[in-house]
Amino acid sequence: MQQFTKPSGVTMHAIVLLLCLLSAATTFAQKGSSSNSPNITITNGEGGRIYHWEVSEMPSSLGQMKGPFRLEETIVPGKDNFEIVQDSSSGSEPNGSKSRGSKITLPAAEGKDTAIRVLRSIYPAKSYARSKDKHPSFVAMPLPNAAFSGPKARYIRIEYQLKFQPGFQWVKGGKLPGALIGSEKGCNAACSGGGSAENCFSTRLMWRKDGQGELYLYAAKSVYFPKEAPETCKRSLDKRSPEALFLLEQRQMDAVAMPEYNDDDELSDDNEPHVLAKRAETSSCLKGMRIKTSPGARSVCNPKFGISIGRGGAFKFQAGNWHNVTQVLKVNSKGKAVKDGYLAVYLDGNVVIEAQDLVLLKNGYDPQSKDATMNQVKFMFSSFFGGGSSDYATPVEQWIDWKGFSMTTSGKNMW
């Protein structure tokens, strides 16, 4: 496995400038509702049209997110663990204020709102993957299908900024957003929670102990773990929901009797530690991939719960600071297990992971697919502590702030 000796990448300022120049050159009218069009630009550039969606500042209420984000479902205040708050780095948040104490009240008069609004995800005390708390989550489809269509797969860039609460207690880790591509229809077909990932893939990230980051990849399990027979189940879980994912994860954990990763933790004697640790830490799935990570990072294959790539090293978050996270990816070409997929992760403008020769979709990108969901890219916000064992649980209520959401597609890798 190769490593980056000097992580480097395109700064976000340069990317924004490039997109602004392209937008000024030629902008096409975007079809669709007027609530979406201000956030989308379509420009001509090298490699064809460039589609760009961006929400630079959050709307004034959670209920207003559905339009600009194109959410599958509306976020309900008081039910979903989100709030719209003022950016605490502006100094307006009172010292010692708790996560639910910084909610902003906006002035009624137009033009007098100077608050920098951000999205805040809330993690109740004692919550983790298998607790009864509702996790902060939503699925967005901000760009039209035309943004991903063509004779071959296009490059996709997803970006967001996040800030962990000052003094954030990392515990053992938790999930962060990424892309979801393909269909999750059918029994055990999800690309999270231990699903088979046969017709989809997801590129969520994770934080780990001490703020270490990693790429948490679900992709083509039958390709990367050919000895693992997909689980069958009696009733369909076609509808993606917290309940369905909980059932998937519950079944997988009961079957394997171990947490998502061994994660260097001691396992009790009655858990057959040597067998489980060996199974959890196999690296066989990495064969055939060309992976570059920062010095000190490591990668782990887990046949039930996805592939951990580039954990640690230069990929590390600091509580209390804003971080910029960017993913650039390309789906592998049409055909059975064609190994030409691409995926890179940037932290604050520096590339920390680059993986080539990937099989992200088992049968690759099919421009003539009759299933529209196969070529639709979704922004998958699914964040919680865990892991499925209680030792992942957050000891106190905590929060993460979010802003700067964007998605861009291009015929060439301009990043």
Instruction: Give per-residue pLDDT as tens, 81-110.
Output: 999 999 977 543 333 334 343 443 333 334
Give the contacts of 411 (CB within 8 A, at least 6 positions apart).
46, 47, 48, 49, 150, 154, 155
Rg value, the chain, Cα: 21
Which residues are paired to 49 by β-bridges?
Answer: 44
Neighbours of 48 (CB within 10 A): 13
CB 311 within 8 A of CB 213: yes
pLDDT at 407: 98
DSSP H or E segment with residue 254: helix 242-256
Give the contacts of 219 (CB within 8 A, at least 6 positions apart).
191, 197, 201, 202, 307, 341, 358, 359, 360, 361
Give the contacts of 161 (CB within 8 A, at least 6 positions apart).
322, 323, 324, 325, 402, 403, 404
CB 411 within 8 A of CB 150: yes
pLDDT at 90: 54
pLDDT at 203: 97
φ, ψ dihedrals at 262, nearest 5° = -65, -35
Which residues are paired to 40 by β-bridges?
Answer: 53
* Residues of the chain scoring pLDDT < 70: 5-37, 90-115, 230-282
pLDDT at 19: 52
DSSP-based three-state secondary structure for 192:
coil
Count of helix runs (H) and strand runs (E) in the chain = 5, 19
Residue entry with tokens 């590339």: 351
Whole-prediction pTM: 0.81
pLDDT at 388: 86
* 325, two tokens: 């996270």
pLDDT at 246: 53
pLDDT tens digits, residue range 138-196?
Answer: 999 999 999 999 999 999 999 999 999 999 999 999 999 999 999 888 777 889 888 88
